[in-house]
């Protein structure tokens, strides 16, 4: 049997199947969203060096997966919508990013990087179908 070794730089992964709040010490983790129904995942308070990635791991049909800022009104950036009509999904002072049920595709993703000096989360990502990811400020 071969000796298996892991690089100290290997990325951490975790599966999420229900609502939860992410901890600051989970920075650098790729979270795989894997449940038949979506839920809300809340980011920790902004702090230098925090970075999280969220990827659709299984189709869901009853409700959206939502990634929400704990502070609100501070998610900024752009997500590439690669559907039949290629477009950008802008985020400007948003509360949350939504993986939209019935429009999601396995592999759709977002990444959020904390920029605490400017009191914001910087978002980037991509979705396969038009409307697969949205940025909203419901409050």
Mean pLDDT computed over 38-67: 96
Residue 1: predicted pLDDT = 45
Residue 26 token pair: 């989970």
Residue 25: band (very low, low, confident or very high) from pLDDT cuts 50, 70, 90 = very high
- The answer to whether 133 and 127 are in contact (CB under 8 A) is yes
pLDDT at position 6 over 90: no
Q: Which residues are CB-contacts of 3 (< 8 A; sequence separation ≥ 6)?
A: none
The pTM score is: 0.91
Residue 11: predicted pLDDT = 82
The per-residue pLDDT for range 87-139, each reduced to its tens digit, is 899 999 999 999 999 899 999 999 999 999 999 999 999 999 999 999 999 87
Kind and range of the H or E run holding 62:
none
Per the prediction, the chain carries an average pLDDT of: 93
CA–CA separation, 73 and 121 (whole Å): 10
Lowest mean pLDDT among 7-16, 22-31, 47-56: 7-16
Q: Which fold has domain 26-136?
A: Jelly Rolls (2.60.120)
Residue 84: predicted pLDDT = 87
Residue 5: predicted pLDDT = 52
């Amino acid at each position: 049997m071969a000796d298996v070794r892991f690089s100290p730089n290997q990325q951490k992964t975790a599966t999420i199947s229900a609502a939860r709040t992410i901890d600051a010490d989970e920075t650098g983790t790729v979270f795989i969203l894997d449940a038949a129904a979506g839920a809300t995942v809340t980011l920790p308070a902004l702090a230098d060096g925090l970075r999280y990635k969220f990827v659709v791991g299984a189709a869901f049909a009853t409700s959206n997966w939502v990634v929400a800022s704990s502070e609100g009104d501070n998610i900024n950036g752009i997500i590439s919508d690669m559907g039949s009509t290629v477009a950008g999904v802008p985020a400007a002072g948003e509360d949350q990013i939504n993986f939209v049920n019935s429009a999601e595709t396995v592999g759709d993703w977002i990444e959020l990087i904390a920029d605490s000096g400017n009191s914001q989360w910087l978002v980037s990502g991509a979705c396969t179908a038009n409307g697969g990811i949205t940025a909203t400020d419901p409050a």
